[in-house]
Amino acid sequence: MIHKIGRNDPCWCGSMKKYKNCHEAFDERISILASQGKIVPGHELIKTPAQIEGIKESAKINIAVLDEVADKIRPGMSTGDIDRIVYETTTKMGGIPAPLNYEGFPKSVCTSINEEVCHGIPADDIFLKDGDIINVDCSTIYKGYFSDSSRMFLIGDVSEEKKKLVRVVKECVELGLEQVKPWGYLGDMSEAVFTHARENGYTVVRNIGGHGVGLEFHEEPWVGYIYRRGTQMVMAPGLMFTIEPMVNMGASKVTTDKENGWTVRTADGKPSAQWEIQVLVTEEGHEVISY
Ligand code: MF3
Ligand code: CO
């Protein structure tokens, strides 16, 4: 026998409100959508107010780390230097860099230059040179809460072609973000990202994407950028995920480095760019948690 939560019982979200005054209508809406065959999030993916506060504290560190990188990054610096800035800044603020030792990843941050799509490993013998574009992908754990965002940086004098790629991918993320609304679908966001990339003559990486985040580094749902409006998971208020499309100047095909098992590159050697934001679906629309 299954006992349904009583209407006067405390809500499952930890708000201390009665269920009938809190998530009862939410649960009804979810169950109708589920009965229509829609993909709906389970309660474990719906962040409670206390969790959101904790995740925001984590994101404060993540944003400060990216700001510090933005301040220091310059031609001639090694990606090992960036790794040290990330480690020092994160730990000074009481956080832990989430990538460090994550599934064997050896450093505190991912640094991906030019044709590198993602998961580049910082090293003391990789130097930033004039004309490079680089993605710096930071993730922080603070009191058990996870934040994750990445930015692109232009090193010195960058070609118009590469500058445009970096700008358009940022626009893709912002257009995707505009689609994040309660009771919409992840596909609404995905289609906006994909359309803008394609209209500019670019391709979107298909098999690497974003993810739920907050209580774990990588939670459900998988967040791809090749899906149509009205498909994929329902964006219920309290869902938190990343928007982090990887957009290529050439073909969408990518390969993973055979020696280190991490670094992903474009198969054709043409440049790739990525921006990543962490976003929360709210009752009113959305809130950017880390950028
Ligand atoms: N920060 C990446 C993401 O956006 C994950 C990197 S995993 C690592 O999901 F191990 F490579 F750091
Ligand atoms: Co991510």
The answer to whether residue 6 is domain-embedded is no
Q: Where does 143-228 show beta strands of DSSP type E?
A: 145-154, 184-185, 203-204, 210-212, 219-223
Ligand 1 binding pocket mutation candidate from 69, 109, 110 (most atoms within 8 A of CB): 110
Quickly count: other Cβ atoms within 10 Å of residue 87's Cβ: 18
The one-letter amino acid code at 23 reads H
Question: What distances in angstroms separate CA 83 from CA 88, 110, 202, one per listed residue?
Answer: 9, 8, 30
Q: Let me know if residue 11 belongs to a domain.
A: no
Q: Per the domain annotation, does 15 fall within a domain?
A: no
* In a domain? residue 10: no
For 237, the domain range is 41-290
CB contact burial 123-145 (16+ within 10 A = b; e otherwise): eeebbbeeebbbbbbbbbbbeeb
pTM of the model: 0.96
Between CA 57 and CA 62 the distance in angstroms is: 9
Q: What is the pLDDT along the chain (291 residues), one digit of tens a residue?
A: 555 789 999 999 988 999 999 999 999 999 999 999 999 999 999 999 999 999 999 999 999 999 999 999 999 999 999 999 999 999 999 999 999 999 999 999 999 999 999 999 999 999 999 999 999 999 999 999 999 999 999 999 999 999 999 999 999 999 999 999 999 999 999 999 999 999 999 999 999 999 999 999 999 999 999 999 999 999 999 999 999 999 999 999 999 999 999 999 999 999 999 999 999 999 999 999 999
Domain tally, the chain: 1
- CATH value at residue 267: 3.90.230.10
pLDDT of residue 195: 98
> How many angstroms is it from 2 CA to the middle of ligand 2?
37
For residue 173, the surrounding DSSP H or E stretch is helix 160-178
In this structure, the residues whose C-beta lies within 6 A of any atom of ligand 1 are 99, 102-103, 105, 110, 119, 137, 139, 148, 242, 244, 276
Q: Is residue 123 part of a domain?
A: yes
Q: What is the DSSP code (8-state) at residue 116?
A: E
Please state, in angstroms and rounded to a whole number, the distance separating the CA atoms of residues 231 and 33.
12
Q: If we measure between CA atoms, which residue out of 66, 16, 23, 29 comes closest to residue 46?
A: 23
Strand 133-142, strand 210-212: pairing: unpaired
Alpha carbon distance 39, 76 (integer Å): 48
- Counting ligand 1 atoms within 8 A of each CB, the residue from 86, 90, 137, 151 with the most, and so the one to mutate, is 137
